[in-house]
Amino acid sequence: MGGTGSLLDMPRTEADTSRRRTLADAASGFPERTRVVLYACLPDSPSPAAVATMHGLRVHAEARDWVVAAEHHDHSPLTIPRAERQQWPEVELLVLSGAVEGMVVPSEAEIAHSPEVRQRLRDWLIEHRVFAAYIGKCDAGSASTTADEVAG
């Protein structure tokens, strides 16, 4: 085949996605796959960068055949504590209710702005047996970069 594009660049049809999920379910031996919530703190939204960030989080999750249970983003600056943000309580509720097993976030700094707060976040994740996948910066040119996961 001629061309410079990668097979990974080809868009998936709904049938492709469905077939992939069926195979993933059968291969795992589990009836349901991992459910995650997408979360970002995007003070500049709506903007192309904010849209690209949420898209990148979804692409990262779907590439791992995780089920995206919900998407939430706040408009607050990163220095605003999570509890004071408008959407974070929704994320917290999903975790506390057991509706998700993980969260996909651009960086830990988006949900914990200081070393002490980061440690409390990590302890909370472990206590509730939830992981966080920090995928790095998302932009229009790349879906995600490196993953740094904290598992509970």
Q: What is the mean pLDDT of the chain?
A: 80
pLDDT of residue 39: 95
Spatial distance between the Cα atoms of 35 and 54, rounded to a whole number of angstroms = 16
Spatial distance between the Cα atoms of 43 and 109, rounded to a whole number of angstroms = 13
Q: In whole angstroms, how far apart are CA 28 and each of 23, 31, 34?
A: 8, 8, 11
pLDDT of residue 15: 74
What residues does each domain of the chain span? 32-150
Of residues 69 and 77, more confidently modeled: 69
**Which tokens hold the place of 71?**
């998407």
Looking at the predicted structure, is the pLDDT value of residue 91 above 70? Answer: yes
Q: Are 15 and 40 in contact, with CB atoms under 8 Å apart?
A: no
Topology of the domain comprising 32-150:
Rossmann fold (3.40.50)
Of residues 148 and 16, more confidently modeled: 16
pLDDT digits (tens, 9 = 90+) for 8-20: 566 777 777 667 7
